[in-house]
Amino acid sequence: EKAKGEEGLTREQIESRIVVPHHTIFLQFFSLYILPVICIAAGYVFFSLLGFI
């Protein structure tokens, strides 16, 4: 019972303090590898519609 500390926080209060990081492995993989491909493809379509390519 001493593991809860002197305040005696409940499990819900402890879980509310823990913040889940938003930068997951999928988000880093997406922003590094998939997003540039989408930007290049969109830029190619954009410039081909304008007649530069």
**Among positive and negative, which fits the CA dihedral 44, 48, 52, 53?**
positive
Residue 10 in domain:
no
Residue carrying the six token digits 């519609």: 49
The two three-digit tokens of residue 2, written as one number: 């001493």
pTM here is: 0.48
Task: Tell me how many domains the chain contains.
Answer: 1
Classify residue 13: in a domain, yes or no: no
User: 36 lies in which domain range?
Assistant: 21-53
Write down the pLDDT at residue 8.
64
Does residue 53 sit within a domain? Answer: yes
Domain assignment of residue 31, yes or no: yes
Flag whether 3 is in a domain.
no
pLDDT value of residue 50: 92
d(C-alpha 6, C-alpha 23), whole Å: 33
39 within a domain of the structure (yes/no): yes
Q: pLDDT per position in the chain (53 positions), as tens? A: 555 555 666 677 777 776 766 667 778 888 889 999 999 999 999 999 998 87
